[in-house]
Amino acid sequence: MLFIDETHTLCAGPGGCTRAWGLEPDAVVVGKTIGGGIPAAAFGMTEDLLTRIAATSHPEDIDVGGVGGTLAGNALSMAAVRATLNEVLTDEAFTGMEALAVRWTQGVQDVLGTGRAPWHVTRLGCRAEYAFSPQPPRTGAEAADAGDFPLQQYLHLQALNSGVLLTPFHNMALISPATTADDVDRHSAAFAAAARALFG
């Protein structure tokens, strides 16, 4: 069976990679991104899988199984999900967000292309990030080997001093409908300054 967690890949567009790549999973789950960071989640499955699960489940297991509970239907979470679905996870919003993600990626690539920093930049939809290896890693071990926490902290602080707030992990930009071209260009300038400070 194919289960897809779109929590980190919903950035590929409305419907995430499932829609963008024409995938046909048995189940799809999505976590915090569907609520714009507010605690929320959603899942869906084929009728066949639903029938199989229902045949082996008992009503008293539903709450302790993680479906329901004290936060189920929380008004704040539901409002966040509604806003995300109506204002962010739309084809129209993604057109602008992806264009800015391409611009952000190109700004980083322009610096990397000078040979100053032996790193790479990747993009998926409206999400882009750079990492500390010449080529994108293909395994978890390669990704771990490319990590450099003190360097990551430096780059975050350097960007913050330039008025740019990156996500609190990795060196990642998550472009939103509120992001502007000026925001992207400010990051490009800050990244170029950091590369000059580090590599000359």
Q: Residue ranges of the domains in the chain?
A: 3-88, 91-199
CA distances to 31, 56, 89 from 86, in Å? 17, 36, 7
Residue 74's pLDDT is what?
A: 83
Residue 66 has pLDDT above 60, yes or no: no
Fold of 91-199: Aspartate Aminotransferase, domain 1 (3.90.1150)
Mean pLDDT of 126-140: 94
Q: Quote the pLDDT of residue 65.
A: 52
Cα(143)–Cα(139) distance, integer angstroms: 6
Rounded CA separation 200/189 (Å)? 15
42 Cβ partners below 8 Å, 6+ apart?
29, 30, 34, 81
Question: Between residues 148 and 200, which one has the greater pLDDT?
Answer: 148
Candidates 62, 112, 91; CA nearest to 177 is 91
